[in-house]
Amino acid sequence: MAQHDTAFQQCINPDCSATYSVDQTLLACAKCQSLLDIRYDWNKLPVPKSLSFFEHRWSTKGSEAEGRADFSGVWRFRELLPFYRDEAEIVTIGEGRTVLQQADLLARHLGMKPGKLMLQYEGLNPSGSFKDNGMTAAFTHARMVGAHKVACASTGNTSASLAMFASLAEMRGIVFIGSGKISFGKLSQALDYGALTLQINGDFDDCLRRIREVALDKKNGIYLMNSVNPFRLEGQKSIMYRILEASDWESPDWVIVPGGNLGNCSAFGKAFSELRELGLIKKIPRLAVINAAGANTLDHLYRARNIRWKDGRFDAAAVQQLYAAMDESHYKAHTIASAIEISRPVNLPKALRALAAMNGETRQVTDEEIMEHRAMVARWGFGCEPASAASVAGLHQLLSEKVISLDDKVVCILTGHELKDPNATVQYHIGDGPRGALSNRPVPVEDNLDAIISAMGK
Ligand code: F0G
């Protein structure tokens, strides 16, 4: 059981560092508006001496609170996210039971040796994306603070996951989505799970701004589920624990992840920083965060403008300047990878911190590269949605630049399931545009046995 007084919220701005109880629901630091972290007084907590402690939970399950927590790929690591009071409070549906695949066929096509490329399939979560890792944690907190109405802005996956958890936790789910910006797989989930779905005439950035305004006014009684909610990121740390677990607790050389609102990469940085602080790992892998070229804020700031974390004193004025210039030119993010079509990533400061902690790199990849690598993951793996393949396209780029060497062991995070966006897939195979290298058109054939046999070829 977690000790309630050993977890607290803390502002990430080193010149503020204000702390708050985990019983509070905040959108940002009340003093300086910076992002908040969940922090723990590890000395007073029962942290395992070795990561192998967690292995015994594979053999337990059951309907009691502890068994259900053990069954979850998030909560079986609960000593590493002990913000809850009691196991009975945990809202879980068996999320996070995902697969790390040794992707030798794909590796061969990228010029890598067998055993060097691993794909972490977070699309195998119950709602089909990595968001379930975060939602289970944020819903646990929502239940702790007695929330009834939960809401998010979303490019699709967050809304699907929120809608599913809200229904199961018997809370009212409300999602804001950009008009015409969401793939049908994701929209169908939000509708099916019964969330109130508001299609705002704008894009994700507009939706997020609006939902924060709504949540800020306490009388609306909204609990915000976007990744500015630091409890979400506590759950998403578990993606890294599972990668270590599937690798006999050895860190890879690189972790590569697509970047949108930058919650995931922030959670990864926090996971590894904490594991190191606790003496549970020796090596921190390097991180690569991959933007779509049409939504490249992080890569632009990190490489073109050289913005660095600097122990929390990063050049916030330069970021504001960029956003002001975007406003002035009416810039809107645009990419076929709709999940990461975001120009003002709210977790930017935490992402800079993660890049510093993990000696990180950023890159951007074009829509063509995303779709070509998505098709490669499908042909030589189990498939993923377009945004997820940015990680593999980014790997390809970093290999050709020799930033990643052929001897490095690399894990690409595949964030969403292939069936989230079948339109993009079908368009790749039979659309009017230029044919991709792996385009596989259906062959029309008469209802005639000879014609059918002849069409099947030799
Ligand atoms: N990949 C997929 C499939 C996503 O849905 C998202 C984010 C990302 C990557 C980026 O992750 O925001 O942590 O950097 N989707 C959000 C949503 C924004 O609303 O579903 P991030």
Mean pLDDT rounded to a whole number for the chain: 96
Query: What's the rounded Cα separation, in Å, for the pair 202 and 205?
Result: 8
pLDDT given for residue 1 in this prediction:
44
Q: What is the pLDDT of residue 434?
A: 73
CA 14 to centroid of ligand 1, rounded, Å: 27
CA of 111 from ligand 1 middle (Å) equals 28
Position 342 scores a pLDDT of 96
Residue 241: predicted pLDDT: 98
- Is-contact 42 277, C-beta < 8 A? yes
- Closest ligand 1 atom to Cα of 156: 20
- In 3D space, the residue among 60, 94, 1, 34 whose CA is nearest the CA of residue 349 turns out to be 34
Dig out the tokens for 265 from the structure: 């990469």
Atom of ligand 1 nearest to the CA of 160: 20
456/446 Cα distance (integer angstroms): 12
* Residue 396 token pair: 């390809």
CA of 337 to the centre of ligand 1 (A): 10
| Other Cβ atoms within 10 Å of 150 Cβ, number | 26
Contacts of 426 (CB under 8 A, 6+ apart): none
Name the residue with the closest Cα to ligand 1, atom 6.
Answer: 339
Residues at CB less than 6 angstroms from ligand 1: 129, 154-158, 227, 258-264, 339-340, 385, 387-388, 415-416
Calculate how far, in angstroms, residue 157's C-alpha sits from the geometric centre of ligand 1. Answer: 7
Residues of the chain below pLDDT 70: 1-4
Q: What is the position in ligand 1's atom list of the atom closest to the CA of 236?
A: 13
pLDDT given for residue 4 in this prediction: 55
* pLDDT at residue 2 in the model: 46
Best residue among 120, 121, 155, 370 to mutate for probing ligand 1, ranked by most atoms within 8 Å of CB:
155
CA of 353 to the centre of ligand 1 (A): 19
Is 107 in contact with 114 (CB distance < 8 Å)?
yes
